């Protein structure tokens, strides 16, 4: 299942994401993963969360991120939640390709919650992305 946290830069998406990560960690009977660019979440995230700096893996586009998330799901059957901070900064701003990527991730993540922050106004998002709000 995919869920989005939308909003322009500076609207508090990361704070909402951090709260959701902490809630998932409390409720999860499995593993929780947080993906970010850099190390901005390192101080705010509990040590039980698997924190991944996406820059370490040379993820450059939509297919790369899909494959990365698919790899996490394939290798960790106990993964209950994946959080991705700044999806557009990771893969780019082609909303059609982002929508296609979400569709592919949704098809393989039926039993895992996958949450993305997306820096865009809801009004500017196409229907292929809005359906995950």
pLDDT per residue over 27-82, tens digit each?
999 999 999 998 877 778 878 899 999 999 999 899 999 999 999 999 999 999 99
Q: What's the average model confidence in pLDDT over 96-111?
A: 97
The share of the chain scoring above pLDDT 90, in percent, equals 89
Whether 132 has a pLDDT exceeding 80, the answer reads yes
State the average pLDDT for the chain: 94
pLDDT of 45 reads: 84
* Buried-exposed string 32-66: b where 16+ CB fall within 10 A, e elsewhere: bbbbbeeeebeebbeeebebbebeeeebeebebbb
The share of the chain scoring above pLDDT 70, in percent, equals 100
Q: What is the CATH number of the domain that holds 109?
A: 3.40.50.300
How many structural domains are present in the chain?
1
pLDDT of 119 reads: 95
Helix, strand, coil share of the chain (percent; to 5)? 45, 20, 35
pLDDT of 41 reads: 73
Query: In which domain, by residue range, is 101 found?
Result: 2-130
Q: Helices 95-108 & 62-75, crossing angle to 10 degrees?
A: 10
């Amino acid at each position: 299942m995919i869920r989005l946290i939308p909003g322009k830069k500076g609207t508090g998406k990361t704070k909402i994401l951090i709260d959701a990560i902490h809630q998932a960690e409390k409720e999860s009977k499995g593993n929780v993963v947080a993906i970010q660019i850099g190390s901005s979440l390192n101080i705010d995230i509990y040590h039980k969360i698997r924190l991944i700096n996406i820059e370490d893996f040379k993820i450059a586009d939509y297919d790369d991120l899909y494959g990365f998330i698919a790899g996490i799901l394939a290798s960790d059957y106990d993964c209950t939640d994946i959080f991705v901070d700044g999806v557009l900064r990771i893969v780019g701003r082609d909303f059609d390709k982002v929508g296609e990527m979400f569709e592919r991730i949704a098809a393989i993540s039926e039993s895992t919650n996958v949450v993305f922050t997306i820096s865009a106004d809801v009004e500017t998002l196409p229907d292929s992305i809005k359906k995950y709000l």
